[in-house]
Amino acid sequence: MLTALALLLAGVSSEPESTSSFLKVEELLTMCAQDRERCMAFVEGASDMAKFIQATDVIPARFCTSPDVKLRKLTDDVVSFLRGHEEFVGQGAGGAVWVALTQTHGCARVPE
């Protein structure tokens, strides 16, 4: 199972597919405006999954946070990013949140 997941995620790009999610970006943004707790739960799940996948070294670390970053801040950053990028309307929310996380909380590059 983990191998299949690893192979699936190895092809992750910065462009989410429109059919890759049950929830679309516009539905996520509506949910975030109406139910803050559900919104935060979605972002938390996406964040946890991204950190888990990165920890397995299947994909390079692109999303990093310091221990002091709170879920509320992470959620605000994701929602602000998605509202500012209309090109994600119609896209799957899961992939778009991944892009938002990497853009708003990208890992610092270590000098070679």
What average pLDDT does the chain have?
A: 82
| Torsion of Cα atoms, 55 then 59 then 61 then 62, to 10° | -140
pTM: 0.74
Where residue 8 falls among pLDDT bands split at 50, 70, 90? Answer: very low
64 bridge partner residues = none
Show me where the domains of the chain are located: 39-112
Where residue 73 falls among pLDDT bands split at 50, 70, 90? Answer: very high
Q: Is the pLDDT of residue 16 over 60?
A: no
Q: Which two tokens stand for residue 23?
A: 């929830």
